[in-house]
Every structure is written in structure tokens, then in C-alpha cells.
């Protein structure tokens, strides 16, 4: 399964995410995208499937093969209680790769003292089955191939 970048920004190693749940691969392997803090960001679906979980600050898309991808918008953003996030889908909706999911402002995260780093995680995947396609430091555009999950 090819996973597209849900955001534009700079690719970061998941081990560099300032949250041990992601950095220590507790949820699964992946990568992170750090969006530019000076523009509003629209997080896109990284793959086709069903919205299996949806929160103002995160979502999970489950593909037809049962594999799930988590996109978390910033770290510790649950503390914002949804303020500053606009949802474009509902749990249970079917989405295509690249469909708009959530709009947010990375500048608001910075102003709240939170990291803008957005993990993209292959939930409970074997780390050997997930290959990061872009090196850390690479600038990625929304929709560009980001991960290959075999």
C-alpha cells in the first residue's frame, strides 16, 4: 500500500517526534511531516478507505485490506480540545486518497507551545514492512508518495 503525504512540509524521522508514543514506535512505524508554521494546513487522506477514528487533532483511515493509517496533527494537541481544527469528514465516511480531512493552523500550535510535527503511522505494522520513501529533511508536497507498506 502506497501512502501519500497528508501535508506539505519537511519530512522528519518518526524517532525525532517529541512524543515517546510515536518516537518509540509504540503505535507502529512511520514518518512525520512538519508543516510550515506560517500557512493554514489541510490534512489529506493518505490512502483510500473508511474513516475508522476521527478526533479534531487526529484521524485513522482503514483501507479495504484492514490496514490502518494514523495521522496525528502536532503533538499534545489533544490539550486544545478541538479549538482551531475544522473537520471535513465524519467517522465512517469513505474517503479517497487526497480527500480533505481536517484543516488547522500550525501557527496556532506554535503559539500554544506545541510541536507542529505530524506523525503518519502504519498502525501496528511490522517495521520491516514499512519503507520511508523520502529522507528526513526533504520537503514534501501534499499527496506525494511518503511510505510504502508491503
Q: Which residues are marked as active site?
A: 72
pLDDT above 90: percentage of residues in the chain:
97
* pLDDT score recorded for residue 37: 85
Per-residue pLDDT tens digits for 70-115: 999 999 999 999 999 999 999 999 999 999 999 999 999 999 999 9
Q: Give the confidence band of 149 by pLDDT, cuts at 50, 70, 90.
A: very high
38 pLDDT higher than 90: no
Q: Give the confidence band of 35 by pLDDT, cuts at 50, 70, 90.
A: very high
Per-residue pLDDT tens digits for 44-56: 999 999 999 999 9
Q: Give the confidence band of 66 by pLDDT, cuts at 50, 70, 90.
A: very high
3-state secondary structure string, the chain?
CEEECCCCEEEEEHHHCCCHHHHCCCCCCEEEEECCCCCCEEEECCCCEEEEEEECCEEEEECCCCCEEEEECCCCHHHHCCCCCEECCCCCCEECCCCEEEEECHHHHHHCCCCCCEEEEECCCCHHHEEECCCCCCEECCCCEEEEEC
Q: Give the confidence band of 39 by pLDDT, cuts at 50, 70, 90.
A: confident
Q: In what side-by-side order are the strands of the sheet with 68-72?
A: 94-95, 49-55, 58-62, 68-72, 118-122, 30-34, 9-13, 139-140
Facing residues of 93 across strands?
Answer: none
Cα–Cα distances (Å) from 127 to 21, 27, 100, 108, in that order, read 15, 11, 28, 33
CATH number for the segment(s) 2-149: 2.70.70.10
Q: Give the confidence band of 40 by pLDDT, cuts at 50, 70, 90.
A: confident
The residue ranges of every structural domain in the chain are 2-149
Could you tell me if 75 and 18 are in contact, meaning their C-beta atoms sit under 8 angstroms apart? yes
What is the overall mean pLDDT for the chain? 96
Amino acid at each position: 500500500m502506497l501512502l501519500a503525504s497528508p501535508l506539505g512540509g519537511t519530512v522528519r524521522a518518526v524517532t525525532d517526534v517529541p512524543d515517546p508514543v510515536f518516537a518509540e514506535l509504540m503505535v507502529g512505524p512511520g514518518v512525520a511531516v512538519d508543516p510550515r508554521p506560517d500557512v493554514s494546513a489541510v490534512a489529506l487522506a493518505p490512502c483510500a478507505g473508511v474513516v475508522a477514528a476521527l478526533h479534531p487533532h487526529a484521524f485513522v483511515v482503514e483501507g479495504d485490506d484492514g490496514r490502518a493509517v494514523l495521522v496525528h496533527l502536532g503533538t499534545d494537541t489533544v490539550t486544545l480540545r478541538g479549538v482551531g481544527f475544522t473537520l471535513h469528514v465524519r467517522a465512517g465516511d469513505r474517503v479517497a486518497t487526497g480527500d480533505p480531512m481536517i484543516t488547522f493552523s500550525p501557527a496556532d500550535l506554535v503559539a500554544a507551545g506545541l510541536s507542529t510535527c505530524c506523525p503518519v503511522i502504519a498502525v501496528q505494522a511490522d517495521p520491516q514492512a514499512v519503507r520511508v520513501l523520502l529522507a528526513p529533511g526533504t520537503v514534501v508536497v501534499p499527496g506525494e508518495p511518503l511510505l510504502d507498506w508491503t
